[in-house]
Amino acid sequence: GEDVEQSLFLSVREGDSSVINCTYTDSSSTYLYWYKQEPGAGLQLLTYIFSNMDMKQDQRLTVLLNKKDKHLSLRIADTQTGDSAIYFCAESIPTGANNLFFGTGTRLTVIP
């Protein structure tokens, strides 16, 4: 079955870069997503990458995909206190419903 794993916690200092990692098991993933969840809120789509891409950059966000190792990472440059949240990676598998399989989330804490 599908299994998406993330480390639970990450702390960085304001202005540093953050790197959040994710591993997944299903090689048939079509798209991989990063969502952000602030306390008491729903999920905000940050970015996504198609499975045949290696890298995608979007302003302060850089997504790296190593399909061979089934490893996905999200780098946030110049991390700000407003980036403190839980970050979820999710994979989309073409099972008909294209539902998302989520990791357990990484709680990012930015220290001023």
Partner 1 sequence: ETGVTQSPTHLIKTRGQQVTLRCSSQSGHNTVSWYQQALGQGPQFIFQYYREEENGRGNFPPRFSGLQFPNYSSELNVNALELDDSALYLCASSSPGTGITDTQYFGPGTRLTVL
Contacts with partner 1, residue ranges (CB under 8 A): 4, 30-31, 33, 35, 40-45, 48, 50, 88, 90, 92, 95-105
Tokens of 56: 């995608």
Least distance between partner 1 and beta carbon 52 (Å): 13
In contact, 14 and 110? CB cutoff 8 Å:
yes
Kind of pairing between the strands at 43-50 and 55-58: unpaired
Say what the alpha-carbon torsion angle 38, 108, 16, 18 is, to the nearest 10 degrees. Answer: -110
C-beta of 17 vs 98, nearer to partner 1: 98
Least distance between partner 1 and beta carbon 79 (Å): 22
- Angstrom distance (rounded) from CA 98 to CA 100: 7
C-beta of 14 vs 107, nearer to partner 1: 107
Least distance between partner 1 and beta carbon 42 (Å): 4
